[in-house]
Amino acid sequence: MRVQATRAAGRPLVPVAIAALAAGACGGSGARANETTHPTSENVPVQGAVAITQDSIPRGLTRESGAQWAAARRMLMEARTVMSLGGDNDGGAEMFAAIADVEVGPDGEVFVLDDQYQEVRVFDAGGGFVGKIGGVGDGPLEFRYANGLVLLPDGRLFVSSRGPQAKVFVKLDGDGWVLDEILELPIGVRGVCATGAGRVFVTGYKRDDNTLVHELAPHGGIARSFAPGYRSDHWLLQMQMGEGSVGCVNGPDRVVFAHSAFALVRAFDADTGTKLWSANIEAFDPLPVYEGVDGKGRRYVRRGREREWDVLGAVHPLSSGHLLLQSGHADAAGRATTVRTYLVDVETGRGAFLGDALPRLVPVRDGYAALFEDPYPRLELRAFPVLEGRPELSRPRRDIPGGKRRATSVAVAAADHERGPNGE
């Protein structure tokens, strides 16, 4: 799917810095004399890594796993729209500026984080506006750089921020959503996920040990860190090349990290931090970064000025036991980004290309939210097809639920949509 380049949201397919560069890009300049080009070969290992192929089916899956992968692909492609939110009515609750994230609660409530307004808008299962949380500011009930939502198993709403702080809200009868606690963190969060047991993991560059994934302590701070960062002795390269997204998978708990700037995806055991697999996306063309020393002996880092490049935007677990990856292919000349979607087997890291017809997606338990920007920001909640009579879809996959990047459901919203406004 091709969309116009615009202001980045919380889980962008083209980060803000790269999108800004696109406007002035005028052709590839290449590396200058004595410059090192990044990512380097030691940071994108081929040995031991499996492939996420550009072919239409993955390579190396067993017959059973291949059938399950194909069934999951059909699920994504056959999902039907059960609710739409977003419009161009000036000042209305459905007028979004930049949708950063979406969650759906067990009772069908829909939570939409608007990156520009810095508020979470809440809608009921029928799409009616209920209220909002936050707004731009530094007060306890306001947000600054909020970028992600997670509904925790205990019903609380976790709102992450690119600043070193997260806020947790709880719903009280008669009072709506109120602040429960503020979590102070030693890093700026770039992505967030949670397991079914409520363990919260975030991604963000931690300079003292160059790690990228961190499990949060219950009331703030970091309990432990893993996922080694970019190999370089330059902290700026470590930080820039360590940008990425994270997804949590249940049963057993695993955390998947995908680098934004190059084609490396890694899965880790959530309990030990041990790497389980690495995967490279084939035919992924990253924006090069060059490192050198100027005439005064000062080290510098600069980005290339390419006409086209790829950025990995998001990694999401699906209830089928697979991962959904989406990247953005930027075209500086046309100032547009093509969204490319991949489906990956969570056990092995093997996957394949689904095409560029799907928009940016945020999965929920029984479907996903499809996000659009043209002609105005809006979303569609889409439900997966009924599973009865299709054993390849309904068969449990080694007890792997969808992972609580999204452990909620659109089933209630779909049922409410079918009944109509009068419950009929």
Residue range 377-416, pLDDT digits in tens: 999 999 999 743 443 333 333 333 334 443 335 555 455 4
Q: How many domains does the chain have?
A: 1
Tell me, what's the pLDDT at 407? 34
Residue 125 lies in a domain: no
Of residues 260 and 7, the one with the higher pLDDT is 260
The mean-pLDDT minimum among 117-126, 187-196, 380-389 falls in 380-389
Helix (H) or strand (E) holding 6: none
The answer to whether 340 and 353 have CB atoms below 8 angstroms apart is: yes
Average pLDDT of span 180-193: 95
Residue 261 lies in a domain: yes
Residue 79 lies in a domain: yes
Residue 138 lies in a domain: no
pLDDT exceeds cutoff 80 at 175: no
Q: What is the DSSP letter of 73?
A: H
The mean-pLDDT minimum among 213-222, 324-333, 398-407 falls in 398-407
Residue 250 lies in a domain: yes
pLDDT exceeds cutoff 50 at 242: yes
Residue 99 lies in a domain: no
Residue range 255-307, pLDDT digits in tens: 999 999 999 999 999 999 999 999 999 999 999 999 999 999 999 999 998 88
The answer to whether 239 and 223 have CB atoms below 8 angstroms apart is: no
Cis? peptide before 252, omega within 30° of 0: yes
Residue 122 lies in a domain: no
Nearest CA to 277 out of 255, 300, 246 is that of 255
**From CA 239, how far away is CA 190, in angstroms rounded?**
11
Average pLDDT across the chain, whole number: 85
pLDDT exceeds cutoff 90 at 4: no
Q: Three-state SS for 66? A: helix
Tell me, what's the pLDDT at 5? 27
Alpha helices (H) along 166-229: none
Q: Three-state SS for 68? A: helix
Helix (H) and strand (E) counts in the chain: 5, 29
Amino acid found at 272: T
Q: Three-state SS for 312? A: strand
**Residue 90 — pLDDT band, cuts 50, 70, 90?**
low
**From CA 356, how far away is CA 333, in angstroms rounded?**
19
pLDDT exceeds cutoff 60 at 146: yes
| Token pair 């520009």: residue | 116
* Structure-token pair, residue 329: 């292919």
Query: Which structural domain, as residue segments, surrounds residue 11?
Result: 2-93+186-407
The residues near 239 (Cβ < 8 Å, ≥ 6 apart) are 205, 207
Residue 9 lies in a domain: yes
